[in-house]
Amino acid sequence: MSPLFPALRTADHKEALRFGERSLTYAELAGAADALAARLAGSGRVAVWATPALETAVGVVAALLAGVPVVPLNPRTGERELAHILNDSAPDAVLAAPGDPLPAALAALPRIDVDTSPARRAAPERTGGPGPEAPALIVYTSGTTGPPKGAVLPRRAIATTLDALADAWAWTPDDVLVHALPLFHVHGLILGVLGPLRRGGSVRHLGAFSVAGVARELADGATMLFGVPTMYHRIAESLDGDPESARSLAGARLLVSGSAALPVHDHRRIAAATGRAVIERYGMTETLMNTGVRADGEPRPGTVGRPLPGVELRLADEADGIGEIQVRGPHLFSGYLNRPDATAAAFTEDGWFRTGDLASLDPDGYVRIVGRKATDLIKSGGYKIGAGEIENALLDHPGVREAAVTGEPDADLGERVVAWVVPADPQAPPAEEELAAHVAAQLSPHKRPRTVRFLSALPRNDMGKVMKRALGHG
């Protein structure tokens, strides 16, 4: 297959990556990634300790050059979840930034420090190389029950989705993207880092999100912003009293939101303060990007645009104009790692991927997402979280007899994780913070309950199943 990153072969002195004060030109990135790729050649699979740093980007690019599949690890993953991911993906080594401390669970793996400094040698002309179906990334994503599953993303899917977005957004080497997303999910890693590199453009990562950081970069040459709705909500909140940031945002070529629905109210507030419309695209770890509003299209708050080039989309089991979004095309994953059962269940008999998202179509084909089939999936801050994994973690706590987890609307996070707990000892229930810290330490801080409500019993039906709808709000 043609190279994923053609600009690395004509590597010049244009900036490719910037993380805070540190940056690499294309020539420097080619040198560092080629040197590491030579070391990795022949490995089965490698994990990357995906901190928001230059080393993560260099490590992933090197593995892709070497044709070695990468498992990005959330550096805040708790014990139980990390053990599951390592056991399931069985990496041969872990790539990390020199000096970064790694948890005990990774001690048994060979560690490869990512060196960002090797100078470029004569660029090796790669012949052959991995084919389009070769796995490039394995990204873990939550389901309604059980631990996260590894979505195997082939090179073909990554190239397809990035080229479709380039078409939709007129994304060129002149674009400079600013973002502050984590690098262990599709949004931040594939769209946010591999996207600019495939175009021969530049990316500046802020390390951590702040409205001031975004505004500073947009005022200083950045042309595009990718963010989750929580980030745009925080931008909307701050713009009123901050005309300078409003001016910086107004100067952007493209403001793109994804990973969850951006409420129309926040769309309107940003448009009112900047005169610019945020556009949305809709994707999923397993499918990469399905739809998007085009740069030259009509922005329409509450919609995620039309199917991207190459994407077939249909609504299944439609009732009253609403049906499940199902998709087909070269942008799809190849399956869940070690889970043929789950892979089979994710597709219809005639080969369409079931997204679980419910939508209607505007007369001109714009997709309007109205909800999702599974109530046990929560989207908080743009992260997908399964109620079942949190319930299991809570049940491991000695102070918990029974637990049920739901999502409740939250202006900042979209949805907030709420835990309903029957304490083992009603006289001495565990502290709310203790349960949150327990979930953070076992799974991940973003999965921790933001609210805990204690009950004497969970509402159950005759079959003993918890009736989550009977759990009131507030």
Using CA of residue 455, residue 460, residue 465, residue 466, what is the dihedral sign? negative
Q: Which does 355 bind (CB under 5 to 8 A by kind): ligand MCA, ligand AMP, none?
A: ligand AMP
Binding flag, residue 188, ligand MCA (CB under 6 A):
yes
Nearest Cα neighbor of 20 from 182, 206, 179, 188 is: 206
Binding flag, residue 74, ligand MCA (CB under 6 A):
no
Phi/psi of residue 34, nearest 5 degrees: -65, -45
Binding flag, residue 397, ligand MCA (CB under 6 A):
no
Considering only CA atoms, give the Rg of the chain.
Answer: 22
Question: Which ranges in 306-431 belong to alpha helices (H)?
Answer: 340-346, 387-395
User: How far out from the chain centre does Cα 74 lie?
Assistant: 11
- Binders of ligand AMP among 285-324, rule CB under 6 A? 285, 304
CA atoms within 13 Å, Cβ hemisphere of 372: 17
Binding flag, residue 259, ligand AMP (CB under 6 A):
yes
Q: Is 150 left (phi over 0), alpha (psi -120 to 50) or beta?
A: beta
Binding flag, residue 260, ligand AMP (CB under 6 A):
yes
Report strand pairing: 176-179 vs 224-227. parallel
Binding flag, residue 385, ligand AMP (CB under 6 A):
no
Q: Which residues, 6 or more positions from 174, have their beta carbon under 8 angstroms from its beta carbon?
A: 201, 223
DSSP 105: G
To ligand MCA, the closest distance from the beta carbon of 265 in angstroms equals 17
Part in contact with ligand MCA (CB under 6 A); list of ranges 39-47, 67-75, 237-245, 435-443: 435-443
Pairwise CA distance, residues 308 & 24, whole Å: 31
DSSP 365: S
Q: Which does 230 bind (CB under 5 to 8 A by kind): ligand AMP, ligand MCA, none?
A: ligand MCA
Contact predicate 198/162, CB 8 Å:
yes
Pairwise CA distance, residues 238 & 242, whole Å: 6
Identity of the residue, 95 or 369, whose beta carbon is nearer to ligand AMP in the bound complex:
369
Binding flag, residue 259, ligand MCA (CB under 6 A):
yes
Q: Which of 45, 372, 401, 468 binds ligand AMP (CB under 6 A)?
A: 372
Pairwise CA distance, residues 348 & 340, whole Å: 14
SS3 label, residue 111: strand
To ligand AMP, the closest distance from the beta carbon of 290 in angstroms equals 9
Binding flag, residue 283, ligand MCA (CB under 6 A):
yes
> x/- binding map, residues 337-366, to ligand AMP, per CB under 6 A?
------------------x-x---------
Using CB under 6 A as the binding criterion, the count of chain residues that bind ligand AMP stands at 18
Q: Which does 280 bind (CB under 5 to 8 A by kind): ligand AMP, ligand MCA, none?
A: ligand AMP
> x/- binding map, residues 21-60, to ligand MCA, per CB under 6 A?
----------------------------------------
Q: Which of 149, 267, 416, 446 binds ligand MCA (CB under 6 A)?
A: 446
Residue 381 burial by Cβ neighbours in a 10 Å radius (0-12, 13-18, 19+): buried
Q: Which residues bind ligand MCA (CB under 6 A)?
A: 76, 181-182, 185-188, 209, 228, 230-231, 258-259, 283-285, 381-383, 436-437, 440, 445-446, 448
Q: Could you list the residues that contact ligand AMP (CB under 6 A)?
A: 141, 186, 258-261, 280, 282-285, 304, 355, 357, 369, 372, 379, 384
